[in-house]
Structure 1
Amino acid sequence: MSNQKTDGLKTIMVCAETDIPTDGSVITRSVEGQQIALARHNPGSKRVIAFESRCPHMQAPLKFGRVVDGEVVCPWHFFRFDTETGNTIACPNSEMHLATFTVEQRDGNVLVQLNSESSDRAVSQ
């Protein structure tokens, strides 16, 4: 596992790029004690995105959702969230917000930025 700290952020290697499905499905990894969801920005895309693993509406596990065009769809009530901004789609009065994470793809690995205040724990699947 690779950790780098810069400006209050910690960059952590969470998996290989090949671990991320190319069909719009979502996987999760436990990173520094929190579950993070990872997916491709669009089915077949090389770009990887990361966001919190539970829907802020009723805590549905987003690993059972789908990502298309950078939007994750909750499997329970079909709420949609922009995976870059965390904003809800087609629900302008909603105060729900999905936490998102900056992703770096380097040397075939996926790295995610977290606040450096998190304690150092291993990444697990």
Structure 2
Amino acid sequence: MLQWYKIDRTSSFDSNRIYEVNAGRTRVCIVNDKNGWKAFSRKCPHAGASFLTGWCEDNEVVCSYHRHRFDLTTGKGCPGQGDFIKIYPTKVEQDELYIAIETATSFFERLFK
């Protein structure tokens, strides 16, 4: 089940700059590029470097450590990398940015759904 978390007013963030924010208890990176708002894993799966020092181009986030690239729509790394990042759903309502995080459900919640 998805839980939506309000982050902040969209005007609080500069375009094309990566930020780290909390969505509930999950820390994620966000960016507003020409394709809209994207929320994604905060660390590169290759060497654990923060994406905060990286950049975005051509709908990809680039890790500043080893230049690994990840698609901001699918989360897939470039061919040959064999890795991926988590992409989180986003929405904007009345100039407020929201990020959805998958919440764990108990066995009984799944059973009686």
Q: Compute the TM-score of the two structures, normalised by the length of structure 2.
A: 0.84
State the 1:77 CA deviation.
Answer: 0.6
Q: Which amino acid aligns with 2:29?
A: A
Equivalent of residue 33 in structure 2, options 26, 35, 41:
41
Work out whether residues 55 and 74 of structure 1, in 8 Å CA contact, stay in contact via their aligned partners in 2: yes
Q: Which amino acid aligns with 1:63?
A: L
Task: Check the 8 A contact 1:20/1:38 in 2, yes or no.
Answer: no
| Bigger-Rg structure (1/2) | 2
Alignment of 1:41-80 (within 5 A): 41-42=33-34, 47-80=36-69
Structure 2 residue aligned with 1:19: 12
State the alpha-carbon separation in 1 of the partners of residues 92 and 22 from structure 2: 18
3-state DSSP of counterpart to 1:96? coil
- The reply on whether 1:114 has 2:72 as its aligned counterpart is no
Q: What is the count of residue pairs matched by the alignment?
A: 105
Task: Kindly provide the CA deviation profile for residues 15-73 of structure 1, in whole angstroms up to 9, marking residues without a partner as x.
Answer: 21112221x2200112222211000133xx6x111001111111111011111222101
TM-score by length of 1: 0.77
Which is richer in helix?
2
Distance 2:80 2:64 in 1: 21
Identity %: 19
The structural deviation recorded for 1:14 is 1.2
Quick check: 1:14–1:29 contact (8 Å CA) kept in 2?
yes
Contact 1:28/1:63, CA 8 A, preserved across alignment: yes
Q: Aligned equivalents of 2:12 and 2:63: distance in 1?
A: 21
Q: 72-81 or 31-40: which moved more?
A: 31-40
Give the 3-state SS of the residue equivalent to 2:52 in structure 1: helix
Q: Is the 8 A contact 2:5 2:24 kept in 1?
A: no
